[in-house]
A and B are shown apart, each in its own frame.
Chain A
Amino acid sequence: MALYEKIIAIYTDLTISDFSPRGTIVIQNDNDGKGDYIKEWNHPTHARPTQEQLDAIN
Chain B
Amino acid sequence: MPGTLKLKSEAGGSVVLTANTNAATDLTVNISPVAGTLATLVANTTGPYFAQGGVAGNGPAFSAYGSSATSLTNGGYTKVAFQTKEFDTNSNFDNTTNYRFTPTVAGYYQVNAGVAANFSSGESTIYIYKNGSRFKNGQDNGAVSYQVNISSLIYLNGSSDYIEIYVYQGTGSAINTNTSSQACWFQASMVRSA
Q: Which residues of A contact B (CB under 8 A)?
A: 2-5, 16, 19-21, 26-32, 36, 39
Contacts of A19 in B (CB 8 A): 75-76, 170
B115: interface (CB < 8 Å): no
Task: Give the complex CA separation of A3 and B99 in angstroms.
Answer: 23
New A-B contacts (10) at CB < 8 Å, excluding given A16-B123, A20-B123, A21-B123: A2-B75, A5-B74, A16-B122, A20-B75, A27-B73, A29-B73, A29-B76, A31-B81, A31-B99, A39-B77
Q: Once A and B bind, how many residue pairs between them come within 8 Å at the CB atom?
A: 55
Q: Which residues of B contact A (CB under 8 A)?
A: 70, 73-81, 98-99, 122-123, 125, 137, 140, 166, 168, 170, 172, 174
Tell me the interface secondary structure of chain B in the complex. strand
From A4, A5, A31, residue with most partner B Cβ within 10 Å: A31
Q: List 23 A-B contacts (CB under 8 A).
A: A2-B74, A3-B76, A4-B73, A5-B74, A16-B122, A16-B123, A19-B75, A19-B76, A20-B75, A20-B123, A20-B170, A21-B168, A26-B76, A27-B75, A28-B77, A29-B73, A29-B76, A29-B79, A31-B70, A31-B78, A31-B79, A31-B99, A39-B77
- On whether the beta carbons of B140 and A21 are closer than 8 Å, the reply is yes
